[in-house]
Amino acid sequence: MTSSHSRTVPAKTIRIAAAVIRDDVGRLLLVRKRGTGAFMQAGGKIEPGELPAVALARELREELGIVVDPDAASHLGSFSAPAANEPETQVEAELFELSITGEPVPAAEIEEMIWFNPEAAAGIELAPLTASFVLPRYGRQP
Report the relative pairing of strands 89-97 and 110-116 from DSSP bridges.
unpaired
By the 10 Å C-beta count (0-12 exposed, 13-18 middle, 19+ buried), 128 is classed as middle
Residue type, 36: T
Radius of gyration in angstroms for the set of CA atoms belonging to the chain, rounded to a whole number: 15
Report the relative pairing of strands 42-45 and 12-20 from DSSP bridges.
antiparallel
The CATH superfamily holding the domain 11-137 is: Nucleoside Triphosphate Pyrophosphohydrolase (3.90.79.10)
> pLDDT (tens digit, 0 to 9) for every residue of the chain, 142 residues total?
443 444 556 689 999 999 999 988 888 999 999 999 999 999 999 999 999 999 999 999 999 999 999 999 999 999 999 999 888 999 999 999 998 888 899 999 999 999 998 777 678 999 999 999 998 887 765 5
**pLDDT at position 44:** 95
**pLDDT at position 125:** 93
Residue type, 62: E
**pLDDT at position 4:** 41
pTM of structure: 0.87
The C-alpha atoms of residue 124 and residue 126 are separated, in whole angstroms, by 6
- Domain parsing of the chain, residue ranges: 11-137
The C-alpha atoms of residue 88 and residue 79 are separated, in whole angstroms, by 17
For 111-122, b/e burial (b = at least 16 CB within 10 A) is eebeebeeeeee
The C-alpha atoms of residue 119 and residue 106 are separated, in whole angstroms, by 24
